[in-house]
Amino acid sequence: MSQVQALDIEQRLHPLTIFYKLIISAPQLLLILYLTVIRGDVTQLINILIIVLWAFIAFPFIFLNYYFFTFSITPKEIRIRSGVLSRRQRIIPIDKIQNIEVTQNFLQRLLSIAKVTIETAGESGVEANFEFVSKTYAEYIRETIKNYKKLSDLQNSQIQDGEIKQDFKEDSVTANPIFAMSIKECIIYGALRFRPVLFAIVIWLMGTAQQFYILPEYWDIDLKDLSSLFDNINELELIFLIGGLIIASSVLSILLDIILTINQYYGFKLFQEIDKLQAEHGLLSRRKFTIPLKKLQMIVMRSNFIMRKFNLWGLMLETAGFQEAHKSSKTALPLANINTIINLSDKILSINFDNQFLQVSRKTIRRAMVRYAFIFLSFILPLTFISIHSLWLFALTPFLYFAAVLTYKNRGYMIYPNKLQIKQGYFFQKISIIPIQKIQTVHVVESFFQRRLGLATLHIDTAALQSSVDASIIDLDRQTAYNLAKEIMYHFHNKTKLD
Amino acid sequence: MNQLHPSVKSVWALGILIRAFFIALTFLVIELLFIRPNINYDIPIGFTSLIIILLGVVISILYPILKYKYWYYEVRENELFLKRGILLRITTIAPFNRIQHIDVHQNLFERMMNLARLVIYTAGTRGADIIIPGLPLDYAEMLRDKLKEYAIEDAL
């Protein structure tokens, strides 16, 4: 069998690579053929030029690239030579390799070839791709590199510690998950998530319908027709109609969310390994992911006003890396009792959490009030055109004040020498915990309106992926904000000096 | 706290003028090609462009003065401190040991004034690159070389 051949001899990729690349480039050729042969644009000089380019450059390049790409794998390093015009030799030391992936798309599966991606820990761009080798050979390469890596790790640890580490199991998943979710918990989670699922689905359906011109003409409802429609029903009926509609769509939305959640988190299991967490979940398509704990930037706990009553929270781990693949926000615990989360973060992430927070400035109530008033007005004013009786909704104004107070009460922060805790939101509460040494930069921002009230917002930047997880303490007293920034930097320098 | 080099005001002013000029030019082209042939009206040709240019001149006088007035930076013992912004006032503290990469940039106007921009990259997500404009070229290069020593490979 060819795949058992020694890897340390220089070798080429699978010959079917040429065939695959030719198929892949076929659409380009078809386009040119369409332009020249079918439409008869032969007189167009540019088309002829493209054909010439394709025939004399792109087409031979597929062969030449294949011919000039050679690789060899020794117990120490991977050596790759490539390039037709400018030759390149790349050497990847085995112990720098972080991850080896074997992927196949549909066409590649038909040809039984696979792509091997080798990721390293260094900067991006040093990774290597083998496009393509046969499927069995790809697996063989992966196993071999893994073994080599184990060997080199073993040697390294021998040199360092003078003895072989006992718990050396690279990919064997521990039998007992540290956390598992039952189907009942999935249902509870789905029922309590309150995502606007129905809304999203309706929007998506409308968009799709519009794409295919399914929407009939009468979707263009005139506002005047609508108002005359409302004039004909009496007010009580209208209230029942709207109320019923809201209740019905909420129930439907929750049911849909339960189904989606079960599909997503069915059989959720979290395993602990030496320096990473591994989780698997899903009903129709089972997903697996790992969270490298070294790359952990911050942890985020999420809850909403009902989940909080039952002490139920979700735990997200934000990781970062030089490569996009390592940057992500991953759900470590979709829904768990607060004590489970505190335990996990304390033992495994060594981040202890306590529910103590300092308040932001009371003036935030004023700012929140103004913001909510604007949102409120933008909803009510259009309604008054439909029915003047909507003006009654202004009776709800005091609730805006309560909402603003709730916003204020649920904003909090706490600084410790080793971490920063930030709490935000009443209906959907989010608590971010940032280890001090993971902070990248600190910004104090005073907007025009904040300056008039003597307020400032403190932003803490970490290397976590999304801007949505960026942690900020909104509306602090200006002086408090600057002092806090100073304190954070003081702890930061202390912490990083020790390391 | 240090202010930027005063010539940076001219760099900013020139930048605004150039932008105003190109916007005016675009408007002129649109007017001549699409609007004039189809619609008849009494405003003389190029009036909109003229307004844009005048507006550009006014902004290029006022904006750099204000921007300069509120731009401060300080190279501290182990961190970089920036304070800037006219309406939105932003204070940034960037510790040296979070710097990943550091560059000195110069555009055409900056080259004319012998100024440079220090661009500091961190691994952060929000405002990941910190820019200090309007530094004398040799000072910017000195600062770059000094800060480069702190730049570490694995800042995560």
Interface test with B, best of A296, A441, A468, A489 (most B CBs within 10 A): A441
Mean pLDDT of B58-67: 96
CB–CB contact B89 A492 (8 Å): no
Evaluate whether residue B7 is within a structural domain: yes
Numbered residues of chain B with Cβ closer than 8 Å to any chain A Cβ: 78-79, 87-95, 97-98, 122-128, 130, 153, 155-156
Across the A/B interface, how many CB contacts are shorter than 8 Å? Answer: 82
Residue-wise pLDDT tens digits, B117-136: 999 888 777 666 889 999 99
**B30 and B95 within one domain:** no
Going residue by residue through chain A, which has 499 residues, state the pLDDT in tens, using 9 for 90 and above: 344 556 777 888 888 888 888 888 777 777 767 766 666 655 667 767 777 777 777 778 888 888 888 888 888 888 888 887 777 777 787 877 777 777 777 788 788 888 888 877 655 444 678 888 888 888 888 888 888 877 777 776 655 544 434 344 444 445 678 888 888 889 999 988 888 888 888 888 877 666 655 555 545 555 566 666 666 667 778 788 889 999 999 999 999 999 999 988 888 888 887 778 888 888 876 777 778 787 788 888 999 999 999 999 999 888 875 555 555 677 888 888 888 888 888 887 778 888 889 999 999 999 999 999 999 999 888 888 877 777 888 888 899 999 999 999 999 999 998 899 999 989 889 999 999 988 888 999 999 999 999 999 999 988 875 655 568 899 999 999 999 999 999 999 998 876 5
Evaluate whether residue B79 is within a structural domain: yes
CB–CB contact B87 A447 (8 Å): yes
Numbered residues of chain A with Cβ closer than 8 Å to any chain B Cβ: 122, 294-295, 297, 320-322, 438-448, 451, 459, 461-467, 470, 482, 485, 489, 492-493, 496
**Nearest C-alpha of chain A: how many angstroms from B22?**
30
**B57 and B98 within one domain:** no
**Nearest C-alpha of chain B: how many angstroms from A141?**
29
Evaluate whether residue B39 is within a structural domain: yes
Evaluate whether residue B154 is within a structural domain: no
- Cβ contacts of A438 on chain B, cutoff 8 Å: 156
Residue-wise pLDDT tens digits, B12-31: 999 999 999 999 999 999 98
Looking at CATH, the fold of the domain delimited by A291-360+411-498 is given as PH-domain like (2.30.29)
CB–CB contact A461 B87 (8 Å): no
Maximum Cα–Cα distance across chain B: 66
Amino acid at A433: I
Interface test with A, best of B77, B120, B126, B130 (most A CBs within 10 A): B126
**B128 and B140 within one domain:** yes
CB–CB contact A440 B124 (8 Å): yes
Distance CA A47, CA A25 (A): 17
**B83 and B56 within one domain:** no
Nearest neighbour of B93 by CB, restricted to A320, A466, A485: A485
**B144 and B109 within one domain:** yes
Nearest neighbour of A461 by CB, restricted to B78, B89, B125: B125
Last residue of a domain, one of B69, B97, B119: B69
Q: How many domains does chain B have?
A: 2
**Nearest C-alpha of chain A: how many angstroms from B39?**
31
Interface test with B, best of A126, A300, A319, A440 (most B CBs within 10 A): A440
CATH of A2-161 given 2.30.29.30, 3.40.50.970, 2.40.50.100, 3.50.50.60: 2.30.29.30
**B128 and B64 within one domain:** no
Give A306's contacts (C-beta < 8 A, 6+ positions apart).
Answer: A192, A194
Nearest neighbour of B125 by CB, restricted to A294, A444, A463: A463
Nearest neighbour of A320 by CB, restricted to B94, B126, B156: B156
**B79 and B42 within one domain:** no
Interface test with A, best of B84, B91, B101, B119 (most A CBs within 10 A): B91
**B78 and B132 within one domain:** yes
**Nearest C-alpha of chain B: how many angstroms from A456?**
9
CB–CB contact B90 A445 (8 Å): yes
Mean pLDDT of B46-69: 94
Evaluate whether residue B125 is within a structural domain: yes
- Cβ contacts of A317 on chain B, cutoff 8 Å: none
**Nearest C-alpha of chain B: how many angstroms from A480?**
14
- Cβ contacts of A461 on chain B, cutoff 8 Å: 122, 124-128
The residue range of the domain holding B40 is 2-69
**A294: nearest CA in chain B?**
B156
Ranges of each domain in chain A = 2-161, 183-265, 291-360+411-498, 364-406
**B122: nearest CA in chain A?**
A440
**B81 and B49 within one domain:** no
Q: What is the pLDDT of residue A163?
A: 40
Nearest neighbour of A470 by CB, restricted to B87, B125, B153: B125
Evaluate whether residue B153 is within a structural domain: no
Residue-wise pLDDT tens digits, B86-117: 999 999 999 988 888 888 999 889 999 999 99
Mean pLDDT of B145-156: 70
Here the contacts of A258-263 (C-beta below 8 Å, separation 24 or greater) are A258/A186, A258/A187, A258/A190, A258/A191, A259/A190, A260/A190, A260/A197, A261/A186, A261/A187, A261/A189, A261/A190, A261/A193, A262/A183, A262/A186, A262/A187, A262/A190
**B77 and B114 within one domain:** yes
| Three-state DSSP class for residue B80 | strand
**B91 and B54 within one domain:** no
Nearest neighbour of A320 by CB, restricted to B78, B97, B123: B123
**B128 and B82 within one domain:** yes
**Nearest C-alpha of chain A: how many angstroms from B3?**
19
Evaluate whether residue B156 is within a structural domain: no
Q: What is the pLDDT of residue A99?
A: 72
Evaluate whether residue B6 is within a structural domain: yes
Please say whether the beta carbons of A296 and A321 come within 8 A.
no
Interface test with A, best of B82, B125, B154 (most A CBs within 10 A): B125
Q: What is the pLDDT of residue A161?
A: 47
Last residue of a domain, one of B25, B43, B69: B69
**B95: nearest CA in chain A?**
A441
Nearest neighbour of A441 by CB, restricted to B78, B89, B92: B92
